Amino acid sequence: MHDVNDAGFFVSAFATCLLVILFTLLRRQRHKPQNRMFLLLTVDILLSAFFMMVRAFEGYHGNPSADSFVLIEKSRYLYFVTHTALAPLFCAYILMVIGAADRLNWPKRLALAAPFIVTELMVLTNPLHHFVYYVKPDGDHVRGMGEMFVYVAAAFYMAAGFLQLLIHWYAMTVKRRIAISYFVTLTVLGILIQLLFPNIRIELLAEAVGLAGLLLSVENEDDRIDATTEVYNRNALILDLDEIFRKGMKRYALCIRLRLREPYLLLEGVSASNALLEAVSDFLKENEVWYRIYRVTPNGFMILSMDEGLLEVVEKRMKEPFALGATEVRPEYRLVYAAVQEEMSSTGEVLLMGDAALPPVEEGLLVSGERLKILLRRAEAEEALHRGLQEHSFEVFYQPVHEGRGEKLYAAEALIRLHDSVLGELYPDEFIPVAEQNGIINEIGAFVVQEVCRFLQSGVPEKLGMHHINVNLSVVQCMQEDFVLKLKEIIGHYRIRPSMLNFEITESVAARDYAILERVIREFKENGFKFSMDDYGTGYSNMHSVFCLDFDVIKIDKSILWEAERSERGRIILENSVRMIRVLKKQILVEGVETRAQVELLKKLGVDYFQGYYYSRPVSRPDFVKLYQERSETENDG
């Protein structure tokens, strides 16, 4: 019935499967369901080949003994058992490769598996009912009705897999198309040849070789895998997201953004950050059943899932420490969570969940819902900042400061504006915090100082009687290396005296970065620059910095002035603030002055300088110059 040629086919199929299994196991990435299904499929073909091999060898011994007869029968039975699973496994594998499996809920999965379960049970119990096949005492194999069912089920799964392939054809990379076509063609050819020439038992070998092709291409995702953490890389995320949006698939996206603190890195060495990334990705892989993990940034993972419950699992785990060797580490992290079709409308937006500057930590570890909009708006602002630098659409506006006595022009505050070609007018309240986070603040700062220097160099400010121009500084800027030196270089280039510049630093940040600030202010003062404390009375009132830092001027925030007009309590606060600052022998500027009544009130209190819409809004340099030249002309006329 079988000759040794058959055994040759089976041995080859067996050896090929063994090779495929070996390489699959040797590859490091094998945690994904798709890889496990591939392994299962290969093992199934390997076993089929093995049982056929045993049958062929035993059958070749000429007159089989009773023992070998039993062995042949057992192999035949086991071959049936394993071979029945082949088409369903192939179908399941295809569904996983194209990502269709994720979309099936459990009832649907069960329905799809039903024909397999029924036929497999039928084959398994065949010794009881001989419905599938029957072996006559002389060894002849008699086909039963059941075998028809097995074939029909197999045809159903092959057709289903094939259909899904055609539907998803254009979503696959060319490499995948070629590999899968190769596998399908070989399998179909193998079956056909075996049907037409029953002596050439080539089907299993064809399938095994096809599998080897799949291993080399589909299963080998080196170009999609991140080498350190062995999850998908950013490129894979972009391709997958493109498909998700093209097809309108429903997904939840969760981004875990780790912050690897500097002191920690210095302490543990750079490899510690990799170890932490691996520990976090290991946890994610543990839970990877129906979701995919990507490394979207050097310190960020993105998870795409069908399952909303994912957020809860990750939130809970991230509160626990991660073990790195003998030490336990609690990484700082933030989570960004969104429903992909409802809240995110493009691949670019989802990527922003990993890339965009986040709102401050104080507002919570999780960014989702309404706050996603803030995130997206911040990201738009960030793009506008880059555009602004390229298209030169930043402009410095000036708002006058007047003397308390005589109300003459005393100085001006430089305030940055961004005329964006896409979003229109942008104000520093919105973009300065973003610029501080991504470092663009340093370029903006340099631009402002240069513009102010140009204005000063023109000689017009001095002619108008101005003593200096106020420039806002954020603490982030002060932290630049050689900051004071760089500033001196710039003003030296324009031949400006340092005392023509007065830097404003906001009070609320002064508390946190006190040590840095103290040093920078000392350096500034040593070099002849002036200093103001901005926004006094907002946020944290840091008495220590008011007393000890060497400010020339304290700027009382507009909210204090406005509250003084509204309530008795507000008036007491303003009066006592002014008195305290006078005792400290610092000069006082009040901003937000909008009415004559406010001017009179502040004059009575003995405030040194006024700034506000009462005198002028912040305006462009030409408008500012025009305004004061006109004013001095009318004064001269009168």
- Answer yes or no whether residue 59 interacts with ligand G by CB under 6 A: no
**Out of ligand G, Mn ion, none, which partner does residue 612 contact, by CB within 5 to 8 A per kind?**
ligand G
Q: What does DSSP say about strands 252-259 and 300-305: parallel, antiparallel, or unpaired?
A: antiparallel
Binding piece for ligand G, criterion CB under 6 A, among 176-184, 213-221, 238-246, 588-596:
588-596
User: Which residues in 330-349 contact ligand G (CB under 6 A)?
Assistant: none
**Out of Mn ion, ligand G, none, which partner does residue 473 contact, by CB within 5 to 8 A per kind?**
ligand G
H helices present in 269-369, as ranges: 271-286, 310-318, 340-343, 347-355
Binding piece for Mn ion, criterion CB under 5 A, among 209-217, 258-266, 512-520, 532-540:
532-540
- Answer yes or no whether residue 433 interacts with ligand G by CB under 6 A: no
CB of 534 to Mn ion, least distance (A): 4
Check residue 262 and give left, alpha or beta (phi > 0: left; psi -120 to 50: alpha): alpha
CB of 619 to Mn ion, least distance (A): 16
Report yes or no: 281 and 231 within 8 Å, Cβ to Cβ.
yes
CB of 584 to ligand G, least distance (A): 20
Residue type, 480: Q
Helix (H) or strand (E) holding 487: helix 483-493
User: Which residues in 592-611 contact Mn ion (CB under 5 A)?
Assistant: none
- Answer yes or no whether residue 473 interacts with ligand G by CB under 6 A: yes
Provide the token pair at 294: 């990507």
Q: What does DSSP say about strands 332-339 and 501-506: parallel, antiparallel, or unpaired?
A: unpaired
Taking residue 76's Cβ as centre, other Cβ atoms within 10 Å add up to: 17
Handedness of CA 182, 183, 187, 190 (dihedral sign): positive
Among 534, 542, 560, 625, binds ligand G (CB under 6 A): 534
The closest alpha carbon to 120, from 75, 164, 89, 74, belongs to 89
The closest alpha carbon to 297, from 230, 346, 367, 226, belongs to 226
Q: Beta-strand (E) ranges in 342-445?
A: 366-367, 394-403, 409-420, 424-426
- Answer yes or no whether residue 592 interacts with ligand G by CB under 6 A: yes
Query: What are the backbone angles phi and psi of residue 290, rounded to the nearest 5°?
Result: -115, 30
Sorted by sequence, the CB contacts under 8 Å of residue 555 that are 6+ apart come out as 504, 532, 533, 534, 535, 536, 589, 590, 591, 611
Among 138, 140, 222, 429, binds ligand G (CB under 6 A): 429
User: Which residues in 232-291 contact ligand G (CB under 6 A)?
Assistant: none
The residue among 427 and 547 lying less far from ligand G, judged by its C-beta, is 427
- Answer yes or no whether residue 420 interacts with ligand G by CB under 6 A: no
The closest alpha carbon to 202, from 215, 213, 189, 211, belongs to 189
User: Which residues in 487-526 contact ligand G (CB under 6 A)?
Assistant: 504, 506
Among 29, 34, 299, 472, binds ligand G (CB under 6 A): 472
Q: Work out the end-to-end distance of the chain between its first and last CA atoms, rounded to an integer number of angstroms.
A: 125
- Answer yes or no whether residue 594 interacts with ligand G by CB under 6 A: yes
Cα 378 from Cα 432, distance rounded (Å): 11
Report yes or no: 429 and 506 within 8 Å, Cβ to Cβ.
no
Among 147, 230, 534, 557, binds Mn ion (CB under 5 A): 534
Among 23, 182, 283, 613, binds ligand G (CB under 6 A): 613
Sorted by sequence, the CB contacts under 8 Å of residue 340 that are 6+ apart come out as 244, 245, 249, 250, 251, 252, 253, 304, 350
The residue among 213 and 537 lying less far from ligand G, judged by its C-beta, is 537
The residue among 380 and 534 lying less far from ligand G, judged by its C-beta, is 534
Provide the token pair at 592: 């937000």
CB of 537 to ligand G, least distance (A): 11
Write down the residue that tokens 């500027």 correspond to: 589
Write down the residue that tokens 């899904």 correspond to: 164
Taking residue 25's Cβ as centre, other Cβ atoms within 10 Å add up to: 10
Among 54, 384, 593, 602, binds ligand G (CB under 6 A): 593
DSSP state of 35: H
CB of 414 to Mn ion, least distance (A): 9
The residue among 378 and 558 lying less far from ligand G, judged by its C-beta, is 558
- Answer yes or no whether residue 217 interacts with ligand G by CB under 6 A: no
The residue among 183 and 624 lying less far from ligand G, judged by its C-beta, is 624
Binding piece for Mn ion, criterion CB under 5 A, among 240-248, 292-300, 481-489, 498-506:
498-506
The residue among 79 and 410 lying less far from ligand G, judged by its C-beta, is 410
Among 98, 448, 520, 590, binds ligand G (CB under 6 A): 448
Q: What does DSSP say about strands 300-305 and 291-297: parallel, antiparallel, or unpaired?
A: antiparallel
Angle among Cα 371, 373, 375 to the nearest 5 degrees reads 75
**Out of Mn ion, ligand G, none, which partner does residue 608 contact, by CB within 5 to 8 A per kind?**
none
CB of 285 to ligand G, least distance (A): 43
Q: What does DSSP say about strands 609-611 and 553-556: parallel, antiparallel, or unpaired?
A: unpaired
Provide the token pair at 405: 């006595």
Helix (H) or strand (E) holding 516: helix 514-526
- Say whether 425 sits in a helix, a strand or coil: strand
Binding piece for ligand G, criterion CB under 6 A, among 22-30, 52-60, 335-343, 466-474:
466-474
- Answer yes or no whether residue 598 interacts with ligand G by CB under 6 A: no
- Answer yes or no whether residue 400 interacts with ligand G by CB under 6 A: no
Cα 207 from Cα 189, distance rounded (Å): 10
Alpha-carbon distances, residue 273 vs 229, 260, 300 (angstroms) = 12, 7, 12
User: Which residues in 356-375 contact ligand G (CB under 6 A)?
Assistant: none
Cα 560 from Cα 69, distance rounded (Å): 101
**Out of ligand G, Mn ion, none, which partner does residue 349 contact, by CB within 5 to 8 A per kind?**
none
Count the residues of the shown chain that bind ligand G, applying the rule CB under 6 A.
Answer: 26
**Out of ligand G, Mn ion, none, which partner does residue 429 contact, by CB within 5 to 8 A per kind?**
ligand G
**Out of Mn ion, ligand G, none, which partner does residue 16 contact, by CB within 5 to 8 A per kind?**
none
- Answer yes or no whether residue 78 interacts with ligand G by CB under 6 A: no
Binding piece for ligand G, criterion CB under 6 A, among 138-146, 192-200, 275-283, 411-419:
411-419
Provide the token pair at 113: 């598996």
The residue among 504 and 608 lying less far from Mn ion, judged by its C-beta, is 504
Count the residues of the shown chain that bind Mn ion, applying the rule CB under 5 A.
Answer: 3
Handedness of CA 169, 174, 176, 181 (dihedral sign): positive
- Say whether 117 sits in a helix, a strand or coil: helix
**Out of Mn ion, ligand G, none, which partner does residue 99 contact, by CB within 5 to 8 A per kind?**
none
Among 225, 244, 385, 432, binds ligand G (CB under 6 A): 432
User: Which residues in 458-477 contact Mn ion (CB under 5 A)?
Assistant: 472
- Answer yes or no whether residue 504 interacts with Mn ion by CB under 5 A: yes
* Interface residues toward ligand G, by CB under 6 A: 399, 413, 415-416, 427-429, 432, 445, 448, 472-474, 504, 506, 534-535, 558, 591-594, 611-613, 618
* Interface residues toward Mn ion, by CB under 5 A: 472, 504, 534
